[in-house]
Amino acid sequence: MMEESQIPDRPAGPARPLPVAFGREELNRILDLYGRMVAAGEWRDYAIDADREEAVFAVFRRASEVPLFRIVKRPQAAERQGAYAVIAMDGRILRRGRDLHSVLRMFERRLIRLVEE
């Protein structure tokens, strides 16, 4: 009789951490803001990236440019500075916080000015 070979469920070694990603509610909030900024003519394209340390939602005026803003989620920084940040195209951190809604509020003020003009 032949013995059945044992196939492990996963390879041996250290477990690879899952990538950081935006949750459904977070993504809905960001995409809602994105839609309103597109309607105002400010933003035209976006990209989403996720790796082991951070998730990034980047917004562009044109697809061939560098991002105007990057909305970043870094869970490792949650206790110190807040998990969320908005980073400008030149690398400056414009807003940082523990709550996504409060971080995105900076765009709400800008959107109100655009609508009033």
> What pLDDT was estimated at residue 37?
92
Per-residue pLDDT tens over the stretch 28-40: 999 999 999 999 8
Whether 5 shows a pLDDT value over 70: the answer reads: no
Q: How far is 39 from 91, CA to CA, in rounded Å? A: 26
Task: Say which amino acid occupies 106.
Answer: M
> What pLDDT was estimated at residue 113?
62
Full-model pTM? 0.78
Sheet of strand 69-73, all strands in order from the earlier edge strand to the far edge: 45-50, 55-60, 69-73, 84-88, 93-97
> What pLDDT was estimated at residue 8?
55
Q: How far is 63 from 33, CA to CA, in rounded Å? A: 18
> What pLDDT was estimated at residue 18?
80
Distance in angstroms between the alpha carbons of the first and the last residue of the chain:
83
In the chain, % of residues over pLDDT 90: 55
- Look at 5-14, 23-32, 62-71 and tell me which has the smallest mean pLDDT: 5-14
Dig out the tokens for 31 from the structure.
């995409």
Q: How far is 65 from 51, CA to CA, in rounded Å? A: 22
Can you say whether residue 13 is alpha, beta or left, with left for phi > 0 and alpha for psi between -120 and 50 degrees? Answer: left
Region 40-57: mean pLDDT is: 92
Can you say whether residue 41 is alpha, beta or left, with left for phi > 0 and alpha for psi between -120 and 50 degrees? Answer: left
